[in-house]
Chain A
């Protein structure tokens, strides 16, 4: 009982970040992100997912959320393929205060590259923690990280050129 109380207390500290990570794992769809996050919390509270004191609690929780989102998409693919592949509409003019600009940009990267960049830069995890979340070897994660950074740089440059070209 006390153990569950402690876990609930720790979840409180990471809730906002956990929700944003769930959204990023759920293609920025709020309702699905809420369902996935709630299911992840149930797993934690039921003890189906147990923190083994290896690494940080945040990385472990992010791993549970990522796994739960993957389970969701596996089921969704069988039942609603059209909806699942629907793209988020991009804003007409890139606007740094419009989050859709960033979402659209990151979706152009291969999935694993996008994940590692989000974990490292957005959620401020180390590469080792990102590897733990993604269940990959640290060396593989470093490769995705370097390639992702390079590809994002190219995309940003391209977007800047297009923007200046229009103006």
Chain B
């Protein structure tokens, strides 16, 4: 057995990695702000919905109590 012989799978993936080195990777900066923005938008969705419901409830209660009677 030739000990210096590389495992075919190892060689295959090493060559693949080397070939991939030259292929471009999208900049993280282009991706992360969008992701942060998307996350922030989703994070505020629930609290905003709750706050809007409370305000609507208060408004309706006030309107009801200050009715014509």
Contact = CB atoms under 8 A, between A and B. Distances in A.
Interface of A: 8, 11-12, 15-16, 19-20, 34, 37-38, 41-42, 45-46, 96-99, 102, 105, 117-118, 121-122, 148-149, 152-153, 156
Interface of B: 7-10, 12-17, 19-20, 23, 25-26, 28, 31-32, 34-36, 38-39, 42-43
B13 to A, nearest CB: 4
17 contacts: A8-B36, A11-B32, A20-B20, A37-B31, A38-B34, A38-B38, A42-B38, A42-B39, A96-B19, A97-B19, A99-B16, A99-B23, A117-B13, A118-B13, A121-B12, A122-B16, A149-B9
A121 B26 contact: no
Contact of A96 (B7, B15, B38): B15
Given A11-B32, A41-B31, A152-B8, A102 B15 contact: yes
Contacts of B8: 152-153, 156
Given A149-B7, A152-B12, A153-B9, 11 more contacts: A11-B28, A16-B25, A42-B42, A46-B43, A97-B19, A98-B19, A99-B19, A102-B15, A102-B16, A121-B12, A148-B9
Given A117-B13, A122-B16, A122-B17, A45 B36 contact: yes
Which of A8, A98, A99, A156 has the most B CB atoms < 10 Å from its CB? A99
Contacts of B25: 15-16, 19-20
Contacts of B43: 46
A37 B7 CA distance: 31
B23 to A, nearest CB: 6
Contacts, number: 66
Closest 5 pairs between A and B when the two form their complex, measured CB to CB: A121-B13, A41-B35, A102-B16, A45-B39, A15-B28
A16 B34 CA distance: 17
A8 B33 CA distance: 11
Contacts of B19: 96-99, 102
